[in-house]
A and B are shown apart, each in its own frame.
Chain A
Amino acid sequence: MATVAVAAEPGAGAGAGALSALRDALRSRRLILGLVVVGFFVLVAAFGPLFVGDPNHEYTDALNAGPSAAHWFGTTNIGQDIFAQTVDATRPTLLIGAAAGLIATAISVVIGIGGGYLGGIADELLALLTNVALVIPTLPLVIVASKFMGDNGLTPTIFVIAFTSWAASARVLRGQTLSLRNRDYVLAARALDEPRWRIILVELLPNEMPIIVSQFTFSMVFAILGQAGLAFLGLQSADMLTWGNILYFAQNAQALDSGQWWWFAPSGLCIAVFGAGLALINFGLDELLNPRLRVYRPSKARAERSS
C-alpha cells in the first residue's frame, strides 16, 4: 500500500524557509523604516564629508546666524556652518557607536553564551560577574575612569564604554543559551561528542544570531548616548567632532541662553532619530522572532474580545 506524505508546503525547504523569513521581514513596515533611517545615516557617514567643507577650517562672516538658505542649520559663534559640522560629526559618532557596540556585544557573547553553555561553577561566577556589572552604575564609573586616565580620544572612549556596557546583553544571552542547551539538536551534538567550541559555534551561535543583533543595536544606542553624555560634560577630546561635542560647544557658548536653538537641535535630533531607527529595526526583529507579539488584522472575534 502506498503511503502518502503530504508536504507541509509546496517547495518547503531550507532555502524556502529563509526566503519566507525574508518576505515576512519585508512586510514589517517598522523594520523597513528602521533600515531606511539607519541606512541614511550610514550613507551620510560614508559620503557626507565629501559634499560639505571642513567646518573647522572654513569660517563664514555670519556669526550666530539662524538657519538660512546659505546655512541650513545656521552658524556658530565663530562662524562655523552647523550643517557641515553635523554631517562631519556623523562618521565619528557612528564609529564610536558601532565599535563600542561591537566590542560590548562580543564580550557579552563570550560571557553570556560561554557561561550559559559551560554551566557549573564557571557559569555561576560569570553570572555573578554579569549581575554585579549590571547593578554598578556605569556612567559615573566611565566619567571617573576617563577623567583619571586623562586620555579621552576615540579609542579609549570606545573601550571604556564597551567594557562598562556589556552586562545587560550578557544576561539576555545567558538566559537564551540556558534554554537552547537542552534542545534536541544541541543534546544530539553533545551525544555525538562534538567538541564544545563546535557546538557553540555551529549550533548555538547561529540560533542566537537574531538576539545578538538586537543586543548589538541596544549597545550601539547606549554607546552613542554615553559618548554624548561624556562629551557634554567636556570629557571628550575637543579635536574629535561628534554630535555630543557639538552639543558641548553649544552649551559652552551658552547658545540656549541666547535662544540659538538651531545650534542644539540638529545634533540631538540626529541622535534621537538614529537611535529610534535602530529601535525600529529591533521592533521588526522582535515581531519576526516572537510570533506572539505579531498583531493580526482586526477581525470580528477580536473586536468582540477587546470591547
Chain B
Amino acid sequence: MNDDASLVLRATDVSVAYEGRRPTRAVREVSLELHAGEVLGIAGESGCGKSTLAYALTRMLRPPAVQTGGTIEYVDRDGRTWDLTALEPGELRKLRWAEFSMVFQSAMNALNPVTSVGAQFDDIFRTHRPEMDRAERRERARRLLEMVGIDPKRVRSFPHELSGGMRQRVVIALALALEPRLVVMDEPTTALDVLVQREILDEISRLRAELGFAVIFITHDLGLLLEISDSLAVMYAGQFVEYAPARRIAEEAQHPYTQGLLRSFPSLRGGRRDLRGIPGNPPDLRQDLDGCPFAPRCEHAFDRCRTEAPQLLAAPGYWPFSCHLRDVPNGSEPRKVEVDERA
C-alpha cells in the first residue's frame, strides 16, 4: 500500500445497515482510498448503496442507518490522521466543511427555504471562520457565487427565487466555501436537464482544476464517470465489484456487471451506445447473499458462482474485481448453467 503523504481518505471494510425487522445491509465491506486532487467515481444501479456509502464516509448516517463495521481515516491538511469513526461530535464538526464537504443527491432541497442565500454562507463562515467580519463574509459569498457562474447580487435572493440549476450551483458554491480538500458529490446534477447538467459538470471540472480538491463523484452514469474520474469503482448490491483506473476500464472492464453497464448506459457526451440493459433486478439487500450477488443476472455464471462469493482481488496486470472468471484460464469458457428462479 503506498502510504504516501498525499493520502486524504482511507476507508477499510465499511459496512452499513438500515435497522429494521430485517436489516437492509446497504453497504458491505467497502474499502477505498483517495489521494489529494484525485477524482474517484462511484457508479452503480439505483439502490445499490451509493448514497449510503457517501453518508457513511462523511459520518452523516442517521437512524435507522448504522455503520456496522469498518474504519474511516481522514488525513487533514496538516498531515494529521483522524479516525472519523471514533471522533467526538465537536471535533467532527470542526473537520466538516473545512476539510470535507458534501453535495447531496437532493441538492435542490439542501437550502434553507426561509433564509437568504447570503445568510447560508454566513452561517458557514460564522461557525468556521469567526475571525471574518460581516463585510468579509459578504464579499466572500459574492465571490463564491461568481465563481460558480451566478450573479453576485443573488446573495440576497431566497432559494425559491432561484431556478433549479441556480440552486444546484449555489449548493456547489457552498460546498467550496471553505476550500475543502475533499468534496463528496452524490449525483449533483440528476434533477437537471441535460444542458444545464453539462454546464455544471464543466464548472465542477474547471473548479477542481483550479482549486485542486479531491472528489468522490457518485452517479449511475458510467459514461460520464469515464470522462471525469481518475479511478472508478463499480458498485453492486452494496459492494465494490470492480475498482479500476478510469482510463483503462472502458476497454478492459473485467467484471461482467461493469461490461453490462458500459453497454447499457447512454453517454452524456457523445453518441448513444447500444442500449442492451442487464436483464433482471438487483438482489434484495435485506437477505443474505450466497455466492456472487450478480450470478443470477450474469451470462457467464457457472456452478461456483452460485455457492462461493468471489473476492475483490486483482488479477496480474489488472486491478481488483470480484469475479470467479479471474481464476478461469483464458479461452476456456466455463460451463454455463441455467439459472433457476430464486424465490
Contacts and interface: CB of A to CB of B under 8 A. Distances in A.
B36 interface: no
Contact of A299 (B63, B280, B296, B339): B63
Given A4-B296, A297-B19, A301-B61, A10 B343 contact: yes
Interface residues of B, number: 23
Nearest to B92: A304
A300 B66 contact: yes
Contact of B338 (A2, A5, A8, A307): A2
A297 B61 CA distance: 15
Interface string B276-312: 0001110110000000000011010000000000000
Interface in B143-168: none
Nearest to A297: B19
Contacts, number: 50
Given A8-B284, A296-B19, A302 B279 contact: no
A3 interface: yes
A305 B87 CA distance: 12
Given A6-B284, A8-B284, A301 B63 contact: yes
Nearest to A304: B89
B343 A301 contact: no
A1 interface: yes
Contact of B279 (A1, A10, A297, A307): A1
Interface string A1-19: 1111111101000000000
B299 A305 contact: no
Nearest to B299: A1
Interface string A274-307: 0000000000000000000000110111101101
B280 A307 contact: no
Given A301-B67, A304-B89, A4 B62 contact: no
B281 A299 contact: no
Contacts of A304: 89
A302 B341 contact: no
B251 interface: no
B26 to A, nearest CB: 14
A307 B88 CA distance: 10
Contact of A6 (B279, B281, B339): B281
Contact of A305 (B62, B281, B341): B62
Contacts of A1: 279, 299, 339
B134 to A, nearest CB: 31
B286 to A, nearest CB: 8
B296 to A, nearest CB: 4
Contacts of A301: 61-63, 65-67
Contact of B19 (A3, A6, A7, A299): A299
A305 B284 CA distance: 29
Given A297-B19, A304-B89, A307-B89, A3 B63 contact: no
B64 interface: yes
Q: Which of the listed residues A5, A8, A10 has the most CB atoms from chain B within 10 Å of its own CB? A: A5
Contacts of B80: none
B340 interface: yes
11 contacts: A2-B339, A2-B340, A3-B280, A3-B297, A4-B296, A4-B339, A4-B342, A6-B342, A10-B343, A296-B64, A304-B89
Q: Sort A-B residue pairs by CB-CB distance and give the 10 closest, nearest first.
A: A4-B296, A296-B63, A3-B280, A3-B279, A2-B339, A302-B63, A4-B280, A6-B284, A296-B64, A4-B342
Given A2-B340, A301-B63, 19 more contacts: A1-B279, A1-B299, A1-B339, A3-B279, A3-B297, A4-B296, A4-B341, A6-B281, A6-B283, A7-B343, A10-B343, A296-B63, A297-B19, A299-B63, A299-B66, A301-B62, A301-B67, A302-B63, A304-B89
Interface of B: 19, 61-67, 89, 279-281, 283-284, 296-297, 299, 338-343
